[in-house]
Chain A
Amino acid sequence: MDSALIARSVRRCSFGRFALWLAPWLGVLGVGAWALWLCLRYGLYQTNMDNRYVFGLWIFLDLSIIALGAGAFFTGFLLYVMKKRELKAVIGSAVVLGFICYSAAMALLAVDVGQPLRAWFTYWHPNAHSMLTEVTFCITCYLTVLLIEYVPVILKTRKLRQIPAYAVFEWELHKLVPVFALIGTLLSFFHQGSLGGLFGVLRGRPFAFREGFALWPSTFFLFILSAAAVGPSFILLTTWTVEKLTGRRLVKDDVYRLLCKVSGWLLLTYVGAKAVDTMIWINATAPRAGFEAYNFYLQKPFGPGTLMVEVLLLGLLPALLLLRGAKEGGLAMINGAALACAGIVLNRFVMTIQTLALPTLPFDRFLWYVPSWQENAAFGAMLAYGVIVYSFSYRYLILFPQEKELSRHVS
């Protein structure tokens, strides 16, 4: 039914099957949209956030998907600035994923703040000292960059590429794409870092507070490093998942190997830096604020095991797996990538939820937090939105240029 929109040299399932695939996701999106509307209409009391857990599931998710979406800028940087030509095979997918991650995060943020219509105040009364201002500006600009990078992918769709004016615009835009890749890299560097800085500057939260360099605490640099490390892993994981779901080969092995290698080495560096940072925090920063670090880990379930899991099981182990995967491919690659992503998500969880869970005053208690159905539904909506946009992009756009070559039989 929609075969005229699908590129000639690739095979896609029938529109009926596609609609069947989309249906449950649209359902989830609908429920989530309803939950979000409830929050906008009745206030954030619809969530289970409270005066202690001022940031909950949503902020944790936002930080996680922005870290995972770092694959977009990093792949762009490696391809257009470092000239790693193999990554042409995944740049389309990376850009779409980046766009999905950042647009979903922004949408969720718009509901998470108490007065969304006042969002422009940050631009009009910016507080240059605040990490959140830096985040706001950077992410706004970066979302624009992603949109600009998404446009050529859309213009290459079968119907649109036939129109000479669009083809010419895409051509001219593509010639200038290194500029956007560089800007994207710069902006990402700063906002990934600032997201880490958000918690690192909190003097009032010694669990999260870190010393650093000039305006920026060590978490600023750790977040950049971890985002750059997990970005390629996420691209790897999503590409592999799409291959499995569609039953098609989409990229050649050397692309996977490169992503593994980059991710593995960066993750290893990150684990080393994090270990050093943690030692400094345990021995100097926290005691200086009057907090012995071991006290933070006396609250179940956040025992010292959390730290070990984050740094070793989901940090060092995936780094080694990825490096092995870079040589051998296979399961080491996928497991490494999945564990790396999990590790970074855990790190974001620790920086948000655990930071807020731990009391600062001696007579305050440790409190629990469980997200409300509205919060969970909103998470579902975000996921569904991502799947739907990606599904449409995969079906009608050329996200994987090597697919043509790799599908040897056209029948």
Chain B
Amino acid sequence: MFPNVSGWSWTPLHVTFVTIFLTVAAVMAGTLLLAAWRAWRDVRRGRAESIRWHSEFEDLPLADRTCRHVLTNEFLHRTCDQGFDCRECATHARWTENHPAAAAVDFEVAGLKYPADRMYHRGHTWVKVEDGGTLLIGPDALSERMFGRIGSLTLPAVGTTLHACAPAWTIRSRGDTFRVLSPVDGEVVEQGGPEQACYLRVRPSEHPPALTHLLRGSEVRPWVLRELERLQLLVSPGLPSLADGGVLAEDLPAMSPDVNWPAVWGQMLLEP
């Protein structure tokens, strides 16, 4: 390598050759370092959970990423490109300005109750705004039936920061450890439980809380119907068909133990 050591001399060919390879190596190292630095910067700016979710979202099948406005037949075909975060979506903002959703009504379908005083997240959790500005969150009726009798539930400790579409509580059941996604950003102020009115009481990170991404009013019914269809497709032929008039059993996994329930939960609750 060094001139005149062991007969070495730098010819133009050698210079070209070594320069090319050093450039390639430098580009490779540089790109890797750039990725690492950007990742570190993202983590420092607290964007880690958001990026994690967006990365997961892109791995969902197209059919599971349908825009909420397609559910209500307002749009014919549209795949969500915001990770279900309608707060960031310009299209949603423009649409709802001109077409506000109709008022909510209580409804029940296949034995599942969806009260009107709540808003719903695509990950099958509900959010209720309390007078004091805090939020109550819990699992919706469909997810309760899908989990049935759970092995154990781990709620986040008081003081934990939650991010929308980041893990909230963990359920251990049927040999699987399942993380249910939080519907909102905020800080846990009180834990609840399955026997209580809610699973968690959360102080939102913004006042007033940004909840435009949650389904409400007349959107909820078409969404639930569609989700039931999706569930049926996922578990058939393990379950008898959910034809009109049927009532969903309280504990679906107990009823059909042969079904791969962790896979079903993953698809339905957006945590594959």
Contacts and interface: CB of A to CB of B under 8 A. Distances in A.
Direct contact of A and B (CB under 8 A): yes
Q: Secondary structure at chain A's binding surface: helix, strand, loop or mixed? A: helix
A128 B17 contact: yes
Nearest to B20: A137
Nearest to A408: B233
A141 B272 CA distance: 35
Nearest to B236: A409
Contact of A126 (B18, B25, B235, B237): B18
Contacts of B14: 126, 128
Contacts of B49: 164
A159 to B, nearest CB: 10
A49 interface: no
A8 B262 contact: yes
Contacts of B59: 398, 401
Nearest to B34: A176
A323 to B, nearest CB: 31
Nearest to A155: B55
Interface string A171-194: 111111001100100110000000
A10 to B, nearest CB: 8
Contact of A128 (B11, B28, B179, B259): B11
A205 interface: no
A405 B61 contact: yes
B48 interface: yes
Nearest to A152: B35
A128 B15 CA distance: 9
Q: Which of B6, B47, B266 has the most A CB atoms < 10 Å from its CB?
A: B266
Given A128-B13, A411-B259, A169 B237 contact: no
B218 interface: no
A141 B235 contact: no
Contacts of B259: 410-411
B177 interface: yes
Contacts of B35: 169, 172-173, 175-176
Contacts of A172: 34-36, 38-39, 42
B238 interface: yes
Please classify how large the interface on chain A is, using the bins under 10, 10 to 19, 20 to 34, 35 or more: 35 or more
A80 to B, nearest CB: 13
B25 A168 contact: no
Q: Which of A8, A10, A187 has the most B CB atoms < 10 Å from its CB?
A: A8
B153 interface: no
Interface string A85-129: 000000000000000000000000000000000000000111011
A249 interface: no
Given A411-B235, A411-B260, A171 B34 contact: no
Given A141-B24, A162-B179, A164-B48, A170 B55 contact: yes
Contact of B176 (A8, A398, A404): A8
B234 A410 contact: yes
Contacts of B55: 161, 167, 170-171, 174
Given A8-B176, A125-B1, A411-B238, A167 B51 contact: yes
Q: Which of A148, A186, A410 has the most B CB atoms < 10 Å from its CB?
A: A410
Nearest to B60: A404
Nearest to B24: A141
Interface in B51-102: 51-52, 54-56, 59, 61
A8 B59 CA distance: 13
B260 A168 contact: no
Interface in A1-21: 3-4, 7-11
Interface residues of B, number: 54
A126 B17 contact: yes
A164 B235 contact: no
Contact of A176 (B6, B31, B235): B31
A72 B238 CA distance: 40
Contacts of B11: 128
A202 to B, nearest CB: 20
B242 interface: no
B31 A9 contact: no
B6 A125 contact: yes
A409 B233 CA distance: 8
Contacts of B51: 164, 167-168, 171
A167 B52 contact: yes
B263 interface: yes
A361 interface: no
A82 interface: no
Nearest to B38: A172
A283 interface: no
B27 A183 contact: yes
A299 interface: no
Given A128-B17, A141-B21, A411-B260, 12 more contacts: A3-B176, A134-B17, A161-B55, A164-B48, A164-B49, A165-B43, A168-B42, A171-B51, A174-B55, A175-B35, A179-B31, A411-B237
23 contacts: A3-B175, A8-B265, A8-B271, A9-B267, A125-B8, A128-B13, A133-B17, A134-B17, A141-B24, A165-B39, A165-B43, A167-B52, A168-B52, A169-B39, A171-B52, A176-B31, A180-B31, A186-B24, A398-B59, A410-B264, A411-B258, A411-B259, A411-B260
Interface of A: 3-4, 7-11, 124-126, 128-129, 133-134, 137, 141, 144-145, 148, 161-162, 164-165, 167-176, 179-180, 183, 186-187, 398, 401, 404-405, 409-411
